[in-house]
Amino acid sequence: MLRSFVPLLVLLLFSHLAFAIKPLRKYYQTPDSVGMAYQPTRISTPDKLHLQAWDCSPDAKLDKRTTIVLANGDAGNMGGWVHMAKELTTQGYRVLLFDYRGFGQSDDFAMDQERLYYNEFADDLGTALAYARRQYPRNRTGVLAFSMGTILATKVAAREKLDFLIGEGYVADPTLHVEIIKQLKNKTISLPADADQYKQLLPRISCPVLLVAGTTDAFTPLAHSEQVVNAATGKQVRRLVKFEGGHLQGSAKLSQQRYADAYVQMISDFITETSSRAKRRKA
């Protein structure tokens, strides 16, 4: 069923694995290359930089009035995620793809490529979310994050209200994560000075959280996602979906007729369930 997609899936997998900052400036794929309607835009950050973004429109007949801002990982650029965005828009979601500073055609930013992440990337995600809310104020708005992007999403979700947070390859502790990279790749990665405070952010996230984890993921182990989900208290809603596979292989493994179709259906089920619950609370 997906035999023709095997080369694509292999390409997507390896383009998303870096475990340190590896930006790509050139776009090898754009939304129109997969038949997706979109509007290119430049978004200004509070510190006067400009981020390149693609505002991808949903199927008009299936519009779920929900905007998903995609926070990608530490390698490549947003062009590597157009197939995921395509399936999301096919199933009725508006998708905002954007590049962090120093990635793609966003403004330059001096980086140490042996750093796991920069706090400025979280500011960029916050800027993208603010743009999405301004443009589509009646939409529910949340984040779909991958690997390094889950760190940024956690930082943003701890300081502002999201309607949902979905993360695959979730980094539960950046300090532990760089230790794992050292063990598995013999690679020394640095962190921002405040990285040791990261774990304090998790209890402050109030929005519904869905974590997607591979049973053989050595870099962001399943057990770490289980701990995050099991730590939920009070009204916190946290869910975990497991798949048989490794780091960032979820969309490939959860594909049936089309790339990532079952993966997006899983996301849709979660958003529908949690938004219905929120409406009942308000009633």
| Nearest C-alpha neighbor of 243 from the set 185, 152, 169 | 169
Alpha helices in 57-210 (DSSP H): 82-90, 119-135, 148-157, 174-185
SS3 percent helix, strand, coil of the chain, rounded to 5, is 40, 20, 40
pLDDT recorded at residue 256: 95
- H or E stretch including 278? helix 261-282
Q: Which of 143, 140, 221 is nearest to 177 (CA)?
A: 221
pLDDT tens per residue, range 211-223: 999 999 999 999 9
Across 206-210, average pLDDT: 98
What is the tens place of the pLDDT at every residue in 170-180? 999 999 999 99
Query: How much is the average pLDDT of 149-159?
Result: 99
Among the four given CATH numbers 3.40.50.1820, 3.10.20.30, 3.40.50.720, 3.60.70.12, the one describing domain 3-282: 3.40.50.1820
Domain boundaries defined on the chain: 3-282
* 0.85 exceeded by pTM: yes
Q: Give residue 77's identity as a one-letter amino acid code.
A: N
